[in-house]
Amino acid sequence: MAGDPRLSLYRSRRDFGRTPEPASGKPRRAGGRIFVIQQHDATRLHFDFRLEVDGILKSWAVPKGPSTDPQQRRLAVPTEDHPLDYADFEGVIPAGEYGGGTVIVWDAGSYRNDNRDRHGRFVSMNAALEAGKAIVTLEGKKLRGSYALIRTGGTGVKPQWLLIKRDDDFADARRNPVKTEPRSVLSGRTLAEVARDGAGQ
């Protein structure tokens, strides 16, 4: 496969002879709108928030993870686009490799693009992200309802975004799923269990 040029940074950072992460970028399925949040115990523990946009996964690293409380604004730092089949990746990236550490699929599901212009016309995810504000409704196992991704400051090489729960029926300041729901939605395992199992499934 020639490879999607949008994934060249993803590929250039990884040695696929050493990491179990997917290299292909082959379509996982056509035309869907999946989201995935992976918990990643790398140099610093963080969550990777990924949205399917035009056949790849747009990605942000969220140090504190997502919140269900609209008062909590969570820093989200853009990272390289990932291939769609990364959404199913769970395992151990060897120490010394890019992103070395354990990954679990912390939440996953589908999302809806809720972006409209001031005339009420549909706005594509790419256009919304380009403009620095994207509204999505998540249908995950842990996270549901409306979330905003808003670009704020750092507009140079290191733009920063905020991931914010919007106020709706799923907003809940008492929940803290990052702490209380640590298991993978794919395998039921914790980070520690996946680390102990190694790369084997």
The Cα–Cα gap between 4 and 15 comes to 17
The Cα–Cα gap between 56 and 33 comes to 10
Out of 21, 41, 48, 107, point to the residue binding Mn ion (CB under 5 A): 48
β partners of residue 63: none
Looking at the Cβ atoms of 9 and 127, the one nearer to Mn ion is 9
CA angle 167, 173, 178 (to 5 degrees): 110
C-beta of 41: minimal distance to Mn ion in Å?
A: 9
Residue 49 token pair: 């928030």
C-beta of 53: minimal distance to Mn ion in Å?
A: 18
Amino acid at site 45: L
107 contacts Mn ion (rule: CB under 5 A): no
Q: Is the Cβ–Cβ distance between 166 and 148 less than 8 Å?
A: yes
Out of 28, 40, 58, 165, point to the residue binding Mn ion (CB under 5 A): 40
Stretch of 47-55, 128-136, 153-161, 165-173 contacting Mn ion, by CB under 5 A? 47-55
C-beta of 173: minimal distance to Mn ion in Å?
A: 27
Stretch of 32-40, 81-89, 108-116, 150-158 contacting Mn ion, by CB under 5 A? 32-40
C-beta of 46: minimal distance to Mn ion in Å?
A: 6
Only one residue has tokens 């990236």, namely 93
In which region does residue 167 sit, left (phi positive, over 0), alpha (psi from -120 to 50) or beta (all else)? beta
The binding site for Mn ion (CB under 5 A) comprises 40, 48
